[in-house]
């Protein structure tokens, strides 16, 4: 992967960080997510809510079954999971739905958009027991409109982003070039992309020299086809991030860009591309603005701990009689502020059915 990116730079000059990141993470021939080794879990590079156990998916299934009832129990409905990794969360959600609401499960189409063949093969193996309910697509553009749910767990943080730097009273783009030894290096260049220029300008100029941060300009391109496949429904993103005033606070001088490998965080995304995850915190304000432009209505972001606790009220009451201690430990890990409860937020949006006009 390193040689292929370097050749791209040699042939066309320095590239924007979104291009570097897209190749490093998503290229089918050597990208991080196309590797044969597992990325998620104790033996991988990072730990997610899915790694805790099946309870996370079961609680999500409760929310989705609740949506189905709120929508009037439609004859057909759909769940779209973006960033399904090896299919473990899908399996937990589907098992939870089958137990909680067999009728909703029987009417469900569970869609997994997955362009990487290696991942889709893993998912098909993991979800073999649910094969009649699951459909794989390269893009949701292949889907007609149905009432349903679009969701993703720790996906938005890995969408490609620009990196910018404030110097001498103005913003510059940090592009990726090569030094004389052929190693990757940062190169400052004027911002020519109009979307990036507008987004950087909106941040203002009250920043110290050398201030670095990240901006995603592709949110609308990512979310628009997902919203278009909903004939009314719910959009749900669970991730780490901040509202704009916190994400771009002048004291956050090095931004939020991080890499992860073997459960260790790093700050050099140019090192050994394809071997590590690359992330940056989500701008929840930009997410909400994009959803509004697409016709959705946002609820304020809440911590994962608060959201899951509210969702689990009935389940928690049932545990008082005959507690399942293993599941209660999972719940504590998912919700406790010292574990995952405060690290992640839940951004929930609703869309009205199309009028057909």
List C-alpha distances in Å: 225 to 139, 144, 210, 229, 294: 9, 11, 37, 6, 10
Q: pLDDT band for 354, please (50, 70, 90 cuts).
A: confident
CATH at residue 134? 3.40.50.12710
The pTM for the full model equals 0.96
Residues 91-109 pLDDT 10s? 999 999 999 999 999 999 9
Taking 50 as the threshold, does the pLDDT of residue 357 lie above it?
A: no
Residue 325 lies inside a defined structural domain of this protein: yes
183, part of any domain: no
Q: Share the mean pLDDT of the chain.
A: 96
The domain of 45 spans 32-160+216-240+281-351
Per-residue pLDDT band at 239 (split at 50, 70, 90): very high
Predicted pLDDT of residue 209: 98
Residues 6+ apart with CB under 8 A from 350: 233, 234, 235, 296, 297, 299
Q: Does residue 120 sit within a domain?
A: yes
Q: How many separate domains does the chain show? A: 1
- Please report the pLDDT score of residue 36 as a whole number: 67
Q: Please report whether residue 123 resides in a domain.
A: yes
* Domain contains 330: yes
Strands 108-113 and 134-137: parallel
Residue 294 lies in a domain: yes
Q: How far apart are the first and last CA of the chain?
A: 49
Name the phi and psi angles at 312, rounded to 5.
Answer: -95, 10
- Strand (E) or helix (H) holding 332: helix 325-335
DSSP annotation of 246 reads: H
Kindly state whether residue 266 falls inside one of the protein's structural domains: no
pLDDT digits (tens, 9 = 90+) for 333-347: 999 999 999 999 999
Residue 108 confidence (pLDDT)? 99
Tell me the pLDDT tens digit for each residue of 4-31. 999 999 999 999 999 999 999 999 999 9
Answer yes or no: is pLDDT of 44 > 80.
no
Which candidate, 156, 154, 150, 153, places its Cα nearest to that of 79? Answer: 150
More confident residue, 215 or 43: 215
Range in 36-45, 194-203, 322-331 the model is least confident about:
36-45
Q: What is the pLDDT of residues 270-284, one digit of tens each?
A: 999 999 999 999 999
| Inside any domain, residue 168 | no
């Amino acid at each position: 992967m390193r040689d292929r990116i370097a050749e791209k730079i040699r042939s066309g000059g320095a590239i924007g960080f979104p291009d570097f990141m897209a190749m490093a993470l998503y290229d089918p021939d050597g990208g991080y997510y196309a590797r044969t080794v597992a990325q998620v879990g104790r033996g991988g590079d990072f730990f997610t809510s899915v790694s805790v156990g099946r309870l996370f998916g079961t609680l999500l299934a409760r929310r989705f079954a609740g949506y189905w009832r709120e929508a009037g129990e439609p004859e057909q409905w759909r769940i779209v999971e973006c960033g399904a990794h090896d299919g473990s969360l899908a399996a937990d959600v589907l098992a939870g739905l089958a137990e909680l609401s067999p009728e909703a499960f029987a009417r469900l189409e569970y869609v997994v958009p997955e362009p990487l063949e290696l991942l889709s093969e893993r998912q098909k193996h993991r979800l073999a027991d649910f094969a009649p309910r699951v459909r794989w697509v390269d893009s949701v553009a292949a889907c007609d409109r149905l009432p349903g749910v679009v969701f993703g767990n720790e996906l938005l943080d890995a969408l490609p982003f620009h990196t910018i730097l404030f110097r001498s009273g103005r913003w510059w783009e940090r592009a990726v070039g090569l030094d004389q030894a052929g190693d990757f290096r940062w190169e400052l260049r004027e911002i020519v992309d109009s979307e990036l220029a507008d987004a950087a300008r909106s941040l203002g100029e009250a920043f110290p020299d050398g201030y670095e941060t990240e901006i995603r300009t592709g949110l609308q391109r990512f979310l628009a086809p997902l919203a278009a496949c909903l004939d009314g429904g719910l959009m749900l993103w669970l991730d780490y991030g901040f509202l704009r005033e916190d994400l771009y606070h002048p004291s956050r001088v090095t931004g939020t860009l991080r890499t992860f490998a073997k459960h260790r965080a790093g700050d050099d995304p140019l090192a050994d591309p394809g071997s590590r995850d690359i992330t940056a915190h989500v701008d929840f304000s930009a997410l909400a603005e994009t959803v509004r432009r697409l016709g959705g209505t946002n609820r304020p972001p809440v911590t994962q701990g608060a959201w899951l606790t509210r969702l689990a009220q009935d389940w928690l009451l049932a545990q008082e009689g005959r507690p399942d201690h293993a599941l209660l430990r999972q719940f504590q890990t998912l919700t406790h502020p010292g574990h995952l409860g405060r690290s992640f937020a839940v951004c929930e949006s609703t869309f009205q059915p199309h009028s057909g006009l």
